[in-house]
Amino acid sequence: MSNSSLNLLVLGPGKTGLLVADVARERGHQVESIDADVNLNAAWLTTEHLRNVDVAIDFTAPDAVLANMEACTRAHTTMVVGTTGWYGEIERVRHAVEQAGTGFVFGANFSYGVNLFYQIMQAAAPALKHNYSGHITEIHHIHKKDAPSGTAVTLRRVLEQASGVRVGITSEREGEVTGIHTLELNSAGDRIVLTHEAKSRRTFAEGAVLAAEWIAGRTGFYEFKDIFTQL
């Protein structure tokens, strides 16, 4: 249980957003959810509406998230962003957050297990400098809008930073799969396969609410994978 109740605004009441609201209420927070229809082009996110919001949590869509981030930053509202598909703008968003003096946590995946998986990837990365080839495969439900997934892109970045080698990604969309990410490392003599499978979206929602509790009252720009061990 969080030490104090927060006023949280959930943007994007889709499947994950609804779970975020549920988890937040279970943890004693006040929650308001805003539908995309009410917030076209971030129109609802005025300074007046955001005045008493401690943290806005965004699980919307790539075509909405940048406007939401700009509006919240203008209103000096702290954010947790689980939406992906905007990472080409990271430096611009970081600069805006730092200029505004607000708090911001973003992540391709708020699951504790996936963030542990990033650390396992880092440990496996030296294989790419020792005659192993690498490839990432990600499988998600047919409704997912971005491909490759933000998690797969982050996995590739973790591997590249640790080894200097950039691996390929294959994206597959089928049924209602919550999320499966696999790294395959192949050499002439053996094969290593590392897989993370999400069984429920609730793991993402729990991580997002913990991130909101952590960033409330703090300033700065953080990636979830760098702070998750502090939660």
* One domain for residues 87 and 117: no
The residue annotated as part of the active site, out of 15, 135, 144, 145, is: 144
**26/28 Cα distance (integer angstroms):** 5
Element (H, E) at 152: helix 150-163
Mind listing the pLDDT tens digit for each residue in 2-28? 458 999 999 997 889 999 999 999 999
Active site residue 140: yes
Domain count of the fold of the chain: 2
The CATH number given to whatever domain includes residue 41 is: 3.40.50.720
Mind listing the pLDDT tens digit for each residue in 78-129? 999 999 889 999 999 999 999 999 999 999 899 999 999 999 999 999 999 9
Inter-CA distances, 88 with 3, 84, 161, Å: 36, 10, 17
* One domain for residues 174 and 210: no
According to the model, what pLDDT value does residue 3 have? Answer: 57
Active site residue 15: no
Would residue 158 count as lying in a domain? Answer: yes
Mean pLDDT on 37-41: 93
The mean of the pLDDT values for the chain is: 95
The residue annotated as part of the active site, out of 29, 140, 181, 225, is: 140
